[in-house]
Amino acid sequence: MERVPILKIGRVLLVSVQIDLQDQTALALQEDLSERIVSTGARGVLIEISALEIVDSFIGRMLSTIASISRVLDAETVVVGMRPAVAITLVELGLSLGGVRTALNVEKGLEILDRDMTVEDDNVIEDEPAGSAAGSVTEARWPN
């Protein structure tokens, strides 16, 4: 069985699907990606599917499931490079991929993830008591 490569770029995992996914390969990808998110602490997942020519309801559900699993593991997912024929097929199958964000290409997908991660980083407020060392974080809390 072929495996889909998962590359780490900064805080993002890039999954480049270069083969037509068979059910077992898709399930292995789901498991491998979940493990890599946890082991690397990745905050984003980019799934590049421009080489994917055939899609069925199982693959559509698998993309949605990967996005849900990633979200639970504190990483956002963006699917990029979807061919028009694949998008049409997914819609015809009644799979809107709810919860799955999409972008036209890798560059735009990285921009989305970068923007999301920047907003998340900005939402953490650091309190520095008087006399503490500059740059040390003593408490991080979410704003109300």
pLDDT band per the 50, 70, 90 thresholds, residue 100: confident
Mean pLDDT of all residues in 68-78: 95
Please state, for a pLDDT cut of 90, what percent of the chain lies above it.
Answer: 55
Q: What is the pLDDT at residue 120? A: 66
Q: What is the pLDDT at residue 132? A: 45
Q: Are 23 and 58 in contact (CB under 8 A)?
A: yes
Decide if pLDDT at 1 tops 80: no
Phi and psi torsions of 142, nearest 5°: -85, 140
Class of residue 73 by CB neighbours under 10 A (exposed 0-12, middle 13-18, buried 19+): middle
Mean pLDDT of all residues in 81-105: 89
pLDDT tens track for 26-57: 999 999 999 999 999 999 999 999 998 888 88
Q: What is the pLDDT at residue 59? A: 87
pTM: 0.79
Mean pLDDT of all residues in 82-93: 91
List of domains in the chain: 6-141 (3.30.750.24)
Q: Are 107 and 125 in contact (CB under 8 A)?
A: no
